[in-house]
A and B are shown apart, each in its own frame.
Chain A
Amino acid sequence: MGRDNNFKLKMTDPYTPYIIGVNADANTSLILSNTSKGTSLYGITDASGQALFDLANLSSGYDDGDTIEVNQAYGYKLNNGEILTSSSIFLNQVTVSKAKINLTGDYADASIELSADGGSNWESVTNNVENQFTTTGQDLRFRITSSGTVVLTDVKVNYN
């Protein structure tokens, strides 16, 4: 299965809890979407290549006739305690005074930090909320620390 070769399921019994299992390569990022409702779940296969999706976790749930679609996605997985640190994402002899980060994926257990001075000072931020830097600088970076399982498929950072 690839990004262009997904599979779709037509749900017929909205009252039965569904667990969907997917076999793929190990550490493959997956997106399960209820395309009828526009909601998604994110997952990643384990070392044996298996991933489970509990449709009860879909915020929209699903109704009779909804289409469930699973796609492979590029992504980054963090287990409990693991860290994703970026290198310089903006470095141009221009002082960064504010920035806003927007994560896509399953990031409920993610602690998000931004640094405007190359990682010397990190400031905790909230996803999709603009942060006015206490310590400004000219080297913008982000850091994600996981307290559970985090799967990121996209990160967008907008700055001044």
Chain B
Amino acid sequence: MTIQQMAGSIQDTRDNIGSRDSTRNPILKRNAELIQIEENSTVIKTNTIGHSFILGHPTNGVLGTANGVDGEQIVLGEAGRSGETVVRVVNPNNTFREHFRDDDFIDTGNSTGSLNTTDKSATTTVDTSSWGEIITLS
């Protein structure tokens, strides 16, 4: 038996002397949760590239000449783009839902009403003095 083996044997003996190890594995309590997620509409939009510089692009990647897809000089950054155009709108189960949390599906140019998207951080007080006979608040 080598010295190292003897030392290991002594250590094993020491480990089994004394009170029982009180270490416990933690028991993690897991609460079952049901999270309801509503799938909303999917919108696909397109945009033109204008005369923005695009590295490696056969047309918009060539500098020094006015040869962008719109005939303009290629420049860095977004330039000459037409703006986003909606090409697809699809909804789950063929059902569109508008909750008025935003104006994404409101044609603001042809709508004249008022959209309220105030979130729950807004403050409100109940006027108990002017109207009604409010008995209790809870």
Q: Is the interface of A mostly helix, strand, loop or mixed?
A: strand
Q: Do the beta carbons of A89 and B105 come within 8 Å of each other?
A: yes
A-B interface pairs (CB < 8 A), number: 172
A131–B76 Cα distance when bound, in Å, is: 51
Write out the residue numbers on chain A whose beta carbons fall within 8 Å of the beta carbon of B94: 90, 158-160
Write out the residue numbers on chain B whose beta carbons fall within 8 Å of the beta carbon of A2: 119-122, 124
Contact with B along A12-36 (1 / 0, CB 8 A): 1100101111111101110000000
Write out the residue numbers on chain B whose beta carbons fall within 8 Å of the beta carbon of A58: none
CB of A40 within 8 A of chain B?
Answer: no
Write out the residue numbers on chain A whose beta carbons fall within 8 Å of the beta carbon of B89: 88-92
Write out the residue numbers on chain B whose beta carbons fall within 8 Å of the beta carbon of A1: 122-126
Q: Is the interface of B mostly helix, strand, loop or mixed?
A: loop
Contact with B along A86-128 (1 / 0, CB 8 A): 1111111100000000000000000000000000000000000
Write out the residue numbers on chain A whose beta carbons fall within 8 Å of the beta carbon of B86: 87-88, 91
User: Interface size bucket, A side?
Assistant: 35 or more
Q: Do the beta carbons of A21 and B132 come within 8 Å of each other?
A: yes
A27–B113 Cα distance when bound, in Å, is: 11
Write out the residue numbers on chain B whose beta carbons fall within 8 Å of the beta carbon of A18: 132-133
Q: Do the beta carbons of A21 and B131 come within 8 Å of each other?
A: yes
Could you tell me which A residues sit within 8 Å of B by CB distance?
1-5, 7-13, 16, 18-25, 27-29, 44, 50, 52, 70, 72-79, 81-93, 140-141, 146, 150, 152-160
Could you tell me which B residues sit within 8 Å of A by CB distance?
41, 86-91, 94-101, 104-107, 110-127, 130-138
Query: Can you list 22 residue pairs at the A/B interface with Cβ under 8 Å?
Result: A1-B125, A2-B121, A2-B122, A19-B131, A21-B127, A22-B124, A22-B126, A22-B127, A28-B116, A29-B100, A76-B116, A77-B114, A77-B116, A78-B112, A89-B91, A90-B89, A140-B96, A154-B100, A155-B97, A156-B96, A157-B95, A159-B94
